[in-house]
């Protein structure tokens, strides 16, 4: 029995030492892998640093891009909308308002003749891309003082609106597609946000030969010259 006890002790100790060896092996392996992993993570993180250091030029460029894009939003909307407005309605005014990044409201004020047209125009406008709802109001005799259709000049009291036509207001809610977002960028807030990125050194004039912002970003500067101004651009004119 005593032999068995001694054997158990020896076997257990052997097993424990093997477990310890295995653990030590894992520790070494993990330590070695961690060094490589850190290099990879640091490499990946340096992309964020590059972008953060170039925040000013990226923000400026993005702002201008968004401004140019937003300048064309209303013309694109109206030009497209023209094709969906039935010929029987005489449009007096079109306006649109942004209700957020995914919602815009188009208001059309115009004139039509029959109650059937009042119904048909709803179907026609619902075909507009992204239009989720159309509202209507105003069908009835044209109110006195209303200019009426066909270019009636309210300054000329001798001519009144054509009888039988109705002044209606149609409201379209656009909640998807290319015309849902009519927002324009807010330059001041956007540029203030860029101020949290890399900025020129504070205090006094920069030393002669100081590189522009774009050349201090960590990214390679443009090959055609780094620029010589606070904006990081080189004047071509």
Partner 1 sequence: MFRLSALTYVIVGVVLMAMIFGGFWFLKIRREKEEIGYYAKKSAELDVINSQDSQNRAVERVRNAMQQVRDAEVAWKQVTSWRTPAAGTFNMTPNRWQLVVNTRRWHGRAEADLNRWVRRNGVTMTSPARLLVPYPTDQPNDLVQFYFNYPALPFPVAIWDMGTITVQGTWDQIMQNVRSWSTIPGYIASVRGLSITGTGSRLQGTYGLTVVVYVNTPYVSGGPGENGGVPQLGGATQGNVGGNQQGSGTMERGGGGGGGGAAGGPTPIGGPPANEPTAAGMGGRAN
| Binding to partner 1, residues 214-233 (CB under 8 A) | 214, 217-222, 224, 227-233
Q: Are 105 and 174 in contact (CB under 8 A)?
A: yes
Q: DSSP labels for 21-79?
A: HHHHHHHHHHHHHHHHHHHHHHHHHHHHHHHHHTHHHHHHHHHHHHHHHHHTHHHHHHH
The residue whose two tokens read 């075909």 is 127
Q: Are 57 and 214 in contact (CB under 8 A)?
A: yes
Enumerate residues 102-141 that contact partner 1 by CB under 8 A: none
With b for 16 or more beta-carbon neighbours within 10 A and e for fewer, the 38-69 pattern comes to eeeeeeeeeeeeeeebbbbbbbbeebeeeeee
Three-state secondary-structure class, residue 85: coil
Contacting residue, 4, 83, 145, 164, with partner 1 by CB under 8 A? 4
Q: Which positions from 185 through 214 interact with partner 1, judged by CB under 8 A?
A: 185, 187-188, 191-192, 194-195, 197-200, 202-206, 213-214
CB of 62 to partner 1, least distance (A): 8
CB of 123 or CB of 199, closer to partner 1? 199
**Using rule CB under 8 A, residue 95 touches partner 1:** yes
Q: How far is the CB of 175 from partner 1 (least distance, A)?
A: 19
Q: Does 158 engage in binding with partner 1 (CB under 8 A)?
A: no
Considering only 52-60, 125-133, 136-144, 172-180, which stretch makes contact with partner 1 by CB under 8 A? Answer: 52-60
For 131-172, the DSSP string reads EEEEEEE--SBPPTT---STT--TT-TT--PPTT-EEEEEEE
Q: 123, 150, 176, 178: which one contacts partner 1 (CB under 8 A)?
A: 150
Does position 79 bind partner 1 by CB under 8 A?
yes
Question: CB atoms < 10 A from the CB of 4, how many?
Answer: 8
Query: Per rule CB under 8 A, is residue 68 in the interface with partner 1?
Result: yes
Does 34 contact partner 1 by CB under 8 A? yes
The whole-angstrom separation of Cα 89 and Cα 117 is 8
Among 127, 144, 145, 151, binds partner 1 (CB under 8 A): 151
- Asked whether position 100 contacts partner 1 by CB under 8 A, the answer is no
Q: Which stretch binds partner 1 (CB under 8 A): 120-128, 136-144, 148-156, 157-165?
A: 148-156
């Amino acid at each position: 029995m005593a032999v068995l006890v001694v054997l158990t002790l020896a076997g257990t100790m052997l097993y424990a030492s093997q477990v310890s060896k295995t653990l030590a092996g894992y520790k070494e392996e993990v330590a070695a892998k961690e060094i490589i992993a850190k290099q990879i993570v640091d490499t990946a993180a340096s992309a964020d640093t590059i972008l953060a250091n170039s925040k000013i030029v990226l923000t400026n460029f993005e702002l201008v891009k968004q401004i140019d894009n937003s300048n064309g939003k209303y013309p694109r909307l109206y030009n497209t909308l023209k094709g969906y407005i039935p010929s029987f309605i005489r449009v007096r005014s079109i306006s649109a308002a942004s209700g957020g990044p995914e919602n815009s409201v188009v208001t059309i004020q115009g004139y039509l003749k029959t109650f059937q047209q009042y119904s048909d125009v709803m179907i026609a406008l619902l075909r507009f891309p992204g239009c989720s709802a159309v509202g209507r109001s105003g069908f009835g005799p044209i109110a006195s003082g209303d200019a009426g259709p066909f270019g009636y000049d309210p300054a000329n009291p001798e001519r009144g609106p054509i009888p039988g036509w109705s002044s209606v207001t149609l409201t379209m809610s656009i909640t998807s597609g290319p015309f849902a977002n009519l927002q324009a960028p807010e330059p001041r807030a956007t540029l203030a946000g860029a101020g949290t990125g890399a900025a020129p050194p504070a205090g006094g004039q920069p030393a002669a030969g100081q590189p522009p912002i774009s050349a201090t970003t960590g990214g390679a500067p443009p090959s055609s010259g780094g620029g010589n101004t606070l904006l990081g651009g080189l004047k071509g004119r």
